[in-house]
Structures are given as structure tokens and as C-alpha cells.
Structure 1
Amino acid sequence: MEFKPKLELKRWDFKIEDQVRSWWEKEDWWKFDPNSPKPKFVIDTPPPYPAPLWHIGAAVSYAMHDMIARAMRMMGYEVLYPIGFDRNGLPIELYVEKYLGLTPWKTDREKFLETCRQVLDSWVEKMKETLKRLLIAADIDNPYQTDSPDYRAFTQATFIEAWKKGLVYEAERPNNWCPKCRTTIADAEVEYKEMKGIMAYIKFKVKDSDEELVIATTRPELLCACRAVVVHPDDERYKKYHGKKVIVPIYGHEIPVLPHKMADPNFGTGAMMVCSFGDWRDVQIFRELGLTPVKAIDEEGKMTECAGPIAGLKVKEAKMKIVELLKEQGYLVKVEDIVHKVPVHERCETPIEIIPMKEYYLKQLEFKDVLKKYAEEMKWQPERYKKNLLQWIDSVSTDWPISRRRFYATEIPVWTCKRCGYKYVPPPGRYYRPWKEDPPIDKCPKCGAREWEGEKRVFDTWMDSSVTVLYITKYMRDEEFWKKTFLEGVKLRPQGYDIIRTWLYYSLLRVHQLTGKRAFDLVFINGMGLDPKGKKMSKRYGNVIMPEEILNKYGADATRFWIALEVKPGENYRVIENKIQGAQKFLTKFLNVARYVSSFPYPEGRVELREADKWILAELAELIEKVRKAYAEMDFHTVAEEFYHFVWDKFSSHYIELSKKRARMMDERFDEEDAKAAWWTLHTVLKNLLLILAPISPAISDYLWRRLYSSESVHAQRLPEAPEEWRDEATLEKGRAIMELNSKVWKAKKEVLGKKLSDPVTVEELKSAGVELPELGGFEEDFMALHNVVRG
């Protein structure tokens, strides 16, 4: 009998991935059916922000989310897996300003917005193609976009609902302010960066005395706003000054010396300048002591008129100038160069200032306890990231400022009556642009006036992003769909650990405020992609690895298998190309295993299995049990690792070798019935391996499945479950002992006896080489045939 492979390919050609993807585009197994009787699984897929450069780390996270979607479909769920793009906010504005030269405050607003939109459109098209090349099984051509009129109308509708519930208010209070972006930012958008600075030691004259207090400060430019000096109550050096007054150098106003526990005796000289809006500690002390603040820095980051000789200067210039003046006038003791942590805006890394501004706020303090309860109730992968959310919730100390003084974002749907100041908030249902259009009301319901001031401010982009799960489940738009997906489905949030305090936190807050429900049941956290040296990828460092570079060399299946094998949930990982190349070689190895198996027919009916067949099925049963558990826990690393070792170390290296002569009937000890048992086992194992591999490397698994077993996609099948009769611990032990014996025989023939592995060898020769053959039981004929062992 001639055994010719049904598969002709000897090396996996990733160009076939395009062909396989075209099959999927014509099929419906991946499309969400809300009327399906299957339980629903909702993935609140992170909508990426479009960018001209999209590095490999982003591609890795979306490939992992697709693995989740595919695995859950094969585990019996109807999966809602949408693709979206988060297009609102500062990044596009900063790009247009820097590279296209359009300053938002000096450009016609409509023209500026249209330019932003066009640039985003071009970026989105490139990103769509990358997602397709990653073999993402979703409706990539019809994504939702957070800057679409439909989405913005939805964001506005959720704001209107919060307004009606009394959760929104307007107030003037100190806020984090980015002088470069000219907007208020929330605490969650502030990062701390180590920067070079100075520590100036300044002499303050004690009133009615010849004494001087020396105060160390990193912000001498705020002397004009200094309204008190505080010292720690227990600091013996300064107890005699409690209640006395000192005179502020250059400006000459008198301020009190007060004891306060927030003064650090170990910082500088232990005496601390309290300046209005110097930092949040200053703000707190001002409130506690009832001091009257002054505004020393304006919205452009320049010193105001109250700064006297340094008025009009940028903060950095003002700092140097005031030090120069202090030195000239004899107030400066010394200046030290220091490195300290400075609060910066995460978007542009500009040091922030604290400036009092009138903004809209969303209440959040009263919801901290329920959000902590939700954090505990959700299942985390990995569990340790739960503490990140809990720590952030504990740190929240003010309500969320949700208004921004920018342009490319969802407008706040509010009009203010010019006569009486009444705030008109319209009914939900359409997209409102108050800066451009009149309100849908004839006259003010409070005073009857007809002149309105349309709101020019926009929402913080997290106001849009925080309701993605409600948008995709059609909250307020399709009650039946929302019931089946949000209320009855399992809801997953996959995301990076760096936005736990923003996207995850704000989503939990907003969904609870709007629905009274917990937003998610599961949270999957992915790590960050680093370059081969372990450094964060950044355009600034020139070390960004583009996904196209990898896909053009190795294809998506190999890239995805590398992702699963190397990237553990929640862990940072290095992108090392030779490991991706190794994944590609493994898939070629697997292809050749499939090619070998395709040489044999797949017997129908009952076959009489040999001991080796029973052993590999017992190994397969153990593999299936492990990977089903790992898939349920979204642990693809374990799946890939177990799959790799099974294929390489057990199936290919041992079972195929043990059964090869039997399968090919190359030994007189075996007849066709013996061969059929091997054929059936080979195909049964391969079929199950294709099902296991499908969520990770979807193209090669589907291609092989359709060529060998079915015209229906492998992705329309269920993950395998091992029959009970395959589970046999005793057979497992015997088979693993045979694996060890195989290795000993191969080593003895090659290294001790100087034979080829195919050469005949006697029992006595093996014994002389240190290999004593035990009782082989049901493995004997396969073992003796494999090693060409002859007796006598």
C-alpha cells in the first residue's frame, strides 16, 4: 500500500493567511447573533487611539483579545466582539498643531476640527489593515468611532442623564492645569517625572527683630503668592517663632509663622513657604488656615501682574530671574541643583500648575465604597492587579473635573441664559454643538429671555471612553439587546495595567451611576511590550518595532503563537525577533506532522488500539484538560506551552516514531488492523490538536482542518473534551517510562555503539551499552520495531 501525503506543503507559507481570511469574510461563524440560545460573552474591546505609528505592543494586546473571542466561541458562547477607535482628545490636536501648524486658538474651529478628522481617517485605514493582517475575526470594516455623531450623541445622553440625577455641578476651584494644552486635567492624567531643578535657600527677616529665618524652596518664583510660613509643631528650632511675622523678600508683605503638622522638619531647613496653588499641599493648608489666595500664574503658564518684577515671564524664566534678584538684594543664601519628582501632564509631559478655574464636575467621592466592592467582586487575570484599582479608589479625594478647554472632543450640551444664568440642558437623542447652534428651546424657562451663550468647553475624553461597554450593548437604544448582552451576559474588560486608574475606574464609576450595575464580571490585564534590551518602546528613543515589520517576515500565525508562548497575562515582555522566528519554525514542524498524518486514511468504525495508542490518548486527555482550564482563565501562555511540549516532546518525538513502522506496515509483526489503529490514533490526535491551536494560530489550523476533515471552519467547532476511556494513569506512567527508555536507546546507539539510529541492535549490545530492557508489556512490538532490536 502506498502512503502519499494529502498535504503537499512542506513549509507553512504565511501568504495563505490572506486566503484563509477571505474565507472568514464570507462566513458567519464569527458574527454576533443576539437571538442565539447560547450564553452571551461581551468583550469591551479597547478602542485604540489612531496614531501614525502603532507599535508591536499594541498589536500583541489585540491579538490576545482575539484569542479570547475565538476561545469563548469554541467554548459555547455567543461572543460580542466589537472593534472601535477612540478618536477624541488631545493627541490629534497636538499632532495637527505640531506637524500641520494649525494652532487651535488661532484657527477657525470648524477648519481645525475637519483637519483633525481627515488625519484620523488616514490613520484608521492603516490600523484596520494591521488588524486584518493579525487575523482578528471581527467586523473591522465597520468599527464604532467615538467622534462619530452617533457616539457623541450617546456620550451627551449619558451626561444629560447624570445631570438629571444631580451628579453634575459647576464650580470654581483649583485644578490641575496644563499650560501647553491650556486645559484642566484630572488627577488620573497626572504623572510624576524626575526632572532637574533647584533648591533656593532664602532669608526672611523676622519682624521687629534682627533675626532671620532661612527657608528652602524649589519654587522661588512663587514668593509673590507666599501667605504663610509653616513649621512642624514639635520642631524645637522654631517654637519661639510660632505666631510671629516675617517679611517676604522683594515683595515686602508680612506673613505669619504658624505650626502645622504638614511641615517636614527634614526637608530643606524645616521651615516651609505656603504659596497659593504652589502644589496640592499648599492648597490644603490654605483651606485649613483660611488664607486668601492670589493667582500668580495664568493659563498660558506666565507670571501674572502680582509677580511684580518677574510678571509676564514663563515659569522657568521667572525662577531664574527671581534667584538673580534675590542674590542682588542679599536675600539668597545658596542655590543647590537637585533632581526631584515633578507632576506632569501624561499627554505632553509638561509640568502642570494649579490654577483656579470654573469647570463642570462629576460627583465620585460618594461612590468609592461601592466601587471597591465591585473591584473585589470581579475576577481578575492576573489577580494581583486588583490592588492597583483599590489603591487608586482610596486615593481619590476630589470630584472629577469633566470639562476641557479644547476642541476635538464631544461638546458639553449646555446653554446658559445671558440674562439670568439659567443652565439649559436639552433632551437626549441627537448630537448637540452648543458653540455653533442655538438651543432647541424658544426662551429661558426661568426668565423668558431669548439670548443664550452656547457652551464652548468639551468633555474629558474619558467621558466618552468610560461608556464603551454601554454603547456596544446598546444601552438606552435597544432594550432587548441590552438585556441579552449587558444584563444577562458575561462581560469582560481586557486592557493594559497603565489605564486601570482611568479607563477601568471611570467605566465602573459611570456605569454604576447610570445603571446601578457593576460594569464587568472579568478583567484581563495585559503587560507592556519592551524592546530586546527591556526598554519601553518610544518614538523618542527610536526603538519602536512596527507590527508590519514582524508580519512581513513571519506572518500572523507565527507572531500569535510567539505571543501566546512568551507573553504571560499582566507581565511585561521583550520583543525578541529570533523567538518569533522560533515560533515560525515550530509551526512548520507542526505542518510536517500534519503532512505525515495526512498520508494515512482515517478509518471508520471500531479499531483495536495498541498500548502506545492508548498512551498518547491518555496524554492527549491530560493536555485537553489543562488547555480547557487555561482557555477558561484566558491564560494563553499555558495553552501554548502545553501544546508545544505535547507536539514536540511526546507526539512527534515518541508516538509517531513508535507507531511509524506499524502505520506504514513496514514490519512483518503488523497487519492492516494494527495499522488502522495507528491511523485512527494519528488522525484523532491531530484533529484535537487543530481544535486546541485554533484560537492562537487561526489560519494554519483552519487551513489544515478544511483540507483534512471538514468544509466547515475549525472555528465553528467546539473545543475538545476528552472521553473518560482515554484517561488512564497506569498507561500514562508506562508510556512515560517508554519515552525515557527511547532516549536511552537512541543515546546508546549513537554515542556508545557508534550505530545509526536505524541500524539493528541486539539486546546484548544494548546491555553492554548500559541499557537494560525491562518488561515492555503492550509496548514491546512497537518499541522493538522502532529501534530495530533483534534478540539473540
Structure 2
Amino acid sequence: MDPKITEKAWNPELEAQVLKKWQDSDIYKFTPTDDNYTIDTPPPYPSGRPWHIGAAAHYSQIDMIARTARMNGKNVYFPIGIDRNGLPVEFYTEKKHNIRMRETERGEFLDLCREALDDLEEEMVLIMTNLGLSGDLKNHYRTDSEEYRALTQSTFITLWKEGKIVLATRPNNYDWVSGTTIADAEIAYQDLQTKLVHMKFKIKDTDKEIIIASTRPELLCACRTIIVNPEDKRYTPFVGSKVIVPITGAEVEIKTHHSAQQDFGSGAVMVCSYGDQNDVALFREMKLEEIVAIGLDGRMTEVAEKYAGLKPKQAREKIIEDLESNGFVEKIEEISHRTPISERSKIPIEIIPMEEYYLKQKDSIEKMRKLGSEITFYPSMHKQILMNWLDSISIDWPISRRRYYGTEIPIWYCSSCSEPHVPEPGKYYQPWKEKCPIDKCSKCGAAEFTGEDRTFDTWMDSSVSPLFVSKYHKDKEFFAKVYPTSIRPQAKDIVRTWLYYTLLRCDMLTGKKPWIEAWIMGYGLDEKGTKMSKSKGNAIDPLPVIEKFGADTFRFWSASETNHGYDFRCNEQKIESTKKFLSKLWNVSRFLSSFPIVKEGKPTTVDKWILSELNNLVKDCKKGYDEYNFFVPAIAIREFTWNLFAAHYIEMVKKRAYGEGFSEEERDAAIYTLHKTLSTILKLLAPITPFITEYLWQTLYSENSIHTERQVEAEDVEDYSKITEEVVQFNSKVWNEKKSKELSLKDSIAVEVPEGLAEFQKDLQSMHNLE
């Protein structure tokens, strides 16, 4: 009998044929019903070369979530977006065109950013298409579209009118390279080598001095007080005394405060504006008058006198020299210091008082903790990232940015009295270039206005993604059916930003949490275990890998590389090695395609054994799929297919399936079991490797797509798994004996079938040609 499958091997080029069928039939079209499964898919960011291989692996598994849900009978809404706001595209555009944003006309710079994004987005969409993502790629949304930005602005206007947004001058994290405020959530920490300088401060009107240890001596000009722990008896006599600040000659008072650590440095601490967040808290609590020592250009201001114009690191080195030459240094230690770094520019941030817009978040922390506890996290351990972040929040969220490519803050100020005015929500506003839509100032009646030129933090846009895809304030009926969304899949590094801000904003606007479940994936690492990034140069471009090995090979590697939630290493050789399993599946399917479909059969004990093991496989896969842990079904299916079904059962019943020495009933039982097992394997594997399973399914079993089929359910059958080890050991024993006697596998051999396998004897004799 000739096999139905004529190709001798699985060719990844066949994926294009399958993909075209899906596109032509619009197989994944979504029509809302009363029960929908909505995925709040992360809109990826095209900056530089779009995506590294770890990100592609991440999105392929998000697609596995969608395909699993469909095969479980859910009406899946899988929107796809592209995130096109923020700093990375501005940096990319500056580098590409050798220009500086603030030296370029704003409209011209925005056009250049948009062009760059269009090119990068095209490649990103191509990668998603080639990966077989079953989302709505035809109608993918963009966060820089007028419609999306109008929604962001509308939500701001709503919260402004509710008093949840304030304009205030407060100390802010400042990234002087990008020239903008950044939120705490955009800060990473690195242990950097630095100098801890032990400086001598003279106590006024005495011949005594105290030692102050600091890593920021360049901020001596901003020192406003010295604090010591109230329990520190060494300084009790000096509390309330004045000390003279070295270099500057300023006089400040020694005060007590519990935050001074007796065992760090000398136990006495200078409080400056602003060395760190502890200084910020102390200035606020002790009502100290701030001194702005570092300007918006990242350089020392005129208050630093002869050090003015130097960058803080340069000023630090120069001041240390001067301290030493003037006898103000007791000692200098080299220490590792935990330093706040901007995640964007990778440079240490400074804390500078700036007027910004803030979204009130401190009063919502306990509500966020409650909502977070109600969301099911996969894996559960990553819920702690959110809880830890909630514990660390101490200030409101600064939402304004001094950049160009982002959603503009929709505010105009009265030119006479500076009163801020917001327009009616619903359209997209650009205040920096548009006339104010309000006729007169509500406060003084003047008719002249000045538009705000700042933009929002990019997370203000991203955090309304579940509202946008649900058509919030656009289609009430649609929104009611798909919101709250079902699941938020994302990487663990943006739990404290995207996940938290979305939870905060959506609760403020709707009174509901935005999703029921959260699926958190680990990082893609290079083969040495280092996190991959384009800036480090260790990122692998996924497109050539997918084109070379095929999407299914890539997807199966992604699922089988590591347990869900953990970091995974990306290696092209490992990806290539997973192709062997697809080849095995293809060879098994091609062999079985030579047998007709037998819809019913009376299974023998041997057949019942493999069907029992197949049933256990279904149970294992269901457990993995229910937890969106694709590692579980991937490993289980590979192990069963390769090492049990192909290696043992098929070899055992091959002659029976051909009817050689067996009755028609026995033959049909074998064929029935072979096809039932293979068709079940294809269904179980379909969410992970959609192309090869579709091709084999439609070639062998149905004209309909496998992705519209319901997933297999476990059956109530007798468990024969206790026999498995004995079957495997016996077959291995026979194969090893033949090998030791230099016999071929077809040669006969005298081996006795054990009593426990008596009901397997006929098939085993046929398989091994036993005498």
C-alpha cells in the first residue's frame, strides 16, 4: 500500500502552504458572543532591529495560549498591537539620521520617528506571521495611532476631573541623557565600584571634629544638615551644635534621626539635596530648604561655585583631590555601591526638583494588593514580583515626560493667569501646535492660551491596552462582552511597570481588575546565561532561524527548552536538534498513512496497553495546558511518541497491521489503535506546532482544520501502565542480545517471553521473530 503522504520528510517550506490556507479561510475571525476569551497581548516595541530570539519565543507561547483556549471550546479574541511610543525610537532616530531631537523641528522629528517605526514594524509583523501567530494581524493596532492616543488622553481627562492627577514640583528621578523625568519603575540597580570618602567636619567654636562618610562628596554644596542616631552616645554632646562643611564653609546643625545607621561609616550622615531617595524623604520630613546642585543638563549648577559645569563624576574626582590637599580626608575606601540606573540610557540617575504631573497611586496600594491577590498567576511564584513592588511604592507616579514622540498631555494654560484647562475627551489633541478648543479662561476670562509641550510616560499608553482592545467608550455592547479580559501574558521584567500600571489605571477607570489571569514568562538568555539584548550585541535575530529550520521547530524548542516561568538559554544548535522530533513524527505519520482509516476495532491487550498509556498522556497534557505550561505537554508528547509509541508499539504490531499471520479482526484492531493514537498525538501537539499537525491532520483525517477541533479528553479506561516497564525491558533485552550476537533485528532468536507478558506473546513473537 502506497502512503498518502508522498513527501519523504517534513519540509518547513510546506508551512507557507498551510499559512496561506489559514489566511484565505480567515480561520481565526472573532465574533463576540456572551462568553469570550480575551487575550490582552503585549504590544511589542520595534526599536532598532525588532525582536531577538527570546522575544519571538515569548510570542510563540502566547499563541499557544490562544490555540489551547480555542481547542478547549472557547471563543478566542486575540488582538495584536505594536507599541510605538517612547524613548527607544527617539534614540534610534537620532542615531540613524545623526541628529539631536531638541535641535530638530518637532514635526520633522516626529515624521522621521514614524518612518523608522514603519520599517521596523513591517519586519516584526513578518516574524509574527511566519511564527504562525493566530491573532488578528490584519487589523493590528498601533499605540501611536490617533485612535489609541485619543483614548489615552480621554482617560487622563477623566482622572484629571476626578482629582486623581496633580501638577506639583517634587524631587524626581532624572535621566539627563534623555532629558526627562522617569518613574521608579524605570530604574534598575547595579553594584558599581565607588569611593566612600571619610571627611572631617569641624564643630564650630571648638577644636573638635566629626567624620562624615559619603559616596557623594560633590554634593557638599547641597548639604543642609548632619544627622546622627539618637541612640548613638558618641554624638550626644554635639547634637544641636553647628559644624562647618569642608570646601564650602557653610554652617549646618547636627540633628538626630533614627535613619542614621550607627554601624555604617562613622554613624554621622550628611543630608543633601539630593543624593538618594532617603535624602528626599528626610528633606520632606525635616522641612529642609533644598539646594539644586545638579541641573537639567546633568552638570553641577552655579551653587557648586568652581565646580560648576562639571558632570557629577568629574566634580567628585576634583573635590576629592581638593579635600585631600586641604587635609579634610581621614581615609578613602573602595566599596561596591548599589546605584540607581536608568533602564533606558543605562546611566546613573540624578534626583532633581521638577514640576511634573503625577497620578495619585499611594492611596491605591492596598486596593492593588487585594486585586493582585485575586488574579491567578502562572507560575504562582511571579505574583511576588507585584507584591514586592507594591511594598516599595513611596511616591505618586510622575506621568509627564519632556520628550517628543509620545502621546501629548492634553492641557492648555491661560496666558494671563496660567490656569490649566483640559478639553472634552474623545479626540486626539496636540497642544504644542493646535489652538486651544476652549474660548475663555474659566478663572480670569482671558482668551489666549499656551499649549503644553510635554508627553506622557509611555506606560500611560500601554496601561490602557485592555481598554483599547475592548473598545472602551467606543462600543458599549462589545466592551460588556470582552471586558474584563481573560488573561495578561507578559515577561517578568515588566510586572512592576506594565502589569502594575494597567491594574492601577483600569481599576481607577472601570472599578474592575483588567484580567482574571496573568501568565509570566522568564528571560531569553544567550548560551552563556546572560540576558539577551540588542545593546549587548548578544541577541540572535529570529527571522533567519525561523526561515532556516521552520516555525514549528522553533516553537517546539521554545516549549520544550525549560519549565514555564524560568529563564531559558537560546542556542541555534539546540533549536536545530528539536527538528529531529518533527522528523520522527513525520516518519510515523507517513508510515501510518499507508493504512486505511478503521473507525472501529476490538483492541487486543497490546492495543489496550498503548491506549492506556495514551490516556495517561492526555491527562498529563491537560494538566500542563490548564496551567499554560507548554513544557509539560511538549516533553510528554515527545517522550511518548518517540520512546513508546514508535519504538515499541508500532514495531510490535507492524506485521499485525499488515495482516501477516493475524486475523482480519486483529489486523483492524491494530490499524484502529495506530490511527487513534496518532490522531490524538496530533491534537495534543497542535497548539505547540500548528503547521505540521495541520498538514498531517488534513492529509489523513479531515478536510477541516485541526485548530477548530475540540481537544482530546481523558477516558475512563483500565490503566495498563504497570506493564510498561516490563515491555520496554523485554524488548531492550532482545535487541541487545541480537546485537551481541551480531544478528540483524529481522533475524530469529530463541528468547522466552516472560509470564507477565503472556498476552503480548503473539505480537512479540512477530516483532522479534522469536523461535
Summarize the alignment of residues 183-582 of structure 1 with structure 2, pairs less than 5 Å apart: 183-487=180-484, 491-582=486-577
Alpha-carbon separation, structure 2, partners of 1:220 and 1:733: 73
- 2:92 matched to 1:100? no
How far apart are the structure 2 equivalents of 1:302 and 1:742? 77
2:703 is the alignment partner of 1:711: yes
Following the alignment from structure 2 to structure 1, what is the Cα–Cα distance between the partners of residues 467 and 157?
A: 15
Deviation at 1:159, TM superposition (A): 0.7
> Aligned residue for 1:154?
151
Deviation at 1:329, TM superposition (A): 2.9
TM-score under structure 2 length normalisation: 0.97
Distance in 2 between residues matched to 1:442 and 1:540, nearest whole Å: 48
The Cα of 1:754 is off from its aligned counterpart by 4.1
What is the CA–CA distance in structure 2 between the aligned matches of 1:775 and 1:336, rounded to whole Å?
75
2:767 equivalent to 1:779: no
User: Please, which of 735, 754, 767 is the counterpart of residue 746 of structure 1?
Assistant: 735
Give me the whole-angstrom Cα distance separating, in 1, the residues matched to 2:279 and 2:595: 80
Runs of 5+ consecutive residues of structure 1 not aligned to the other structure: none
Return the alpha-carbon distance in structure 2 between the equivalents of residues 788 and 736 of structure 1: 21
Q: State the AA in 2 paired with 1:402.
A: I
Partner Cα separation in structure 2 for residue 378 and residue 290 of structure 1: 41
Aligned to 1:756: 744
Letter in 1 for 2:53: I
Instruction: Report the Cα distance in structure 2 between the residues aligned to 1:144 and 1:462, rounded to whole angstroms.
Output: 16
Query: Take 1:747 and 1:331, find their aligned partners in 2: how far apart are those partners?
Result: 82
- String of CA shifts for 1:309-364, please: whole Å, max 9, x gaps: 11122212211222232233332334333331211111111211111111111111
Where does residue 18 of structure 1 map in the other structure? 16
Counterpart Cα distance in 2 of 1:75 and 1:167:
42
The Cα shift of 1:775 comes to: 5.0
Instruction: Give the alignment partner of residue 652 of structure 2, picking from 655, 658, 661.
Output: 658
Once the two structures are superposed, residues 632-690 of structure 1 have per-residue CA deviations (whole angstroms, 9 ceiling, x without a partner) of 21010000111011101211111101110111122x3x122221111111111111111
| Counterpart-to-counterpart distance in 2, 1:44 and 1:787 | 55
| CA displacement 1:25-55 (0-9 Å, x = unmatched) | 01133121114x6x31111111111023221
Mean Cα displacement is larger for which, 333-342 or 637-646?
Answer: 333-342
How far apart, in 2, do the equivalents of 1:678 and 1:163 lie?
Answer: 71
C-alpha distance in structure 2 between counterparts of 1:262 and 1:775, whole Å: 74
Distance 1:737 1:458 in 2: 69
How far apart are 1:516 and its partner, in Å? Answer: 0.4
- Kindly indicate whether residue 43 of structure 2 is the aligned counterpart of residue 47 of structure 1: yes
Change beyond 3 A, Cα 1:197–1:570: same
Say if 1:205 and 1:213, in contact at 8 Å, map to a contact too: yes
Give the Å deviation of 1:383. Answer: 0.4
- 1:197 Cα deviation after fit: 2.1
SS in 2 for 1:544: coil
8 Å Cα contact 1:10/1:588 also seen in 2: no
CA distance 1:232–1:6, change in 2 (3 Å):
same
Matches within 5 A, 1:130-169: 130-169=127-166
Measured in 1, the distance between the counterparts of 2:540 and 2:31 equals 37
Q: Give distance in 2, aligned partners of 1:297 and 1:541.
A: 30
Displacement of 1:102 after TM fit?
Answer: 2.1
Distance 2:438 2:382 in 1: 48
| Pairwise CA distance, 1:88 | 0.5
Partner SS for 2:270: strand
The equivalent residue for 2:632 is 638
User: C-alpha distance in 2, partners of 1:580/1:250?
Assistant: 62
Q: What's the counterpart of residue 107 of structure 2?
A: 110
Offset of 1:598 from its aligned partner?
Answer: 0.4
Offset from partner CA, 1:236-259 (integer Å, 9 cap, x none)? 322221111111122222111112
Spell out, residue by residue over 1:69-120, the C-alpha distance to the aligned partner (whole angstroms, 9 max, x if none): 0110010011111111111011111222233222121110101111111111
The match for 2:721 is: 732
Structure 2 CA distance for aligned equivalents of residues 136 and 320 of structure 1: 54
Q: Does 1:615 align with 2:615?
A: no
Question: Contact conserved, 1:128 with 1:141, CA < 8 A, in 2?
Answer: no
Q: CA RMSD in A?
A: 1.5
Distance 2:349 2:136 in 1: 41
Q: CA deviation at 1:542?
A: 2.8
Q: What SS is found at the alignment partner of 1:342?
A: strand
% identical equivalent positions: 48
Shift of the alpha carbon at 1:183? 0.9
Change (3 A) 1:329 1:735: closer
Q: Structure 1 segments of 4 or more deviating over 6 A?
A: none
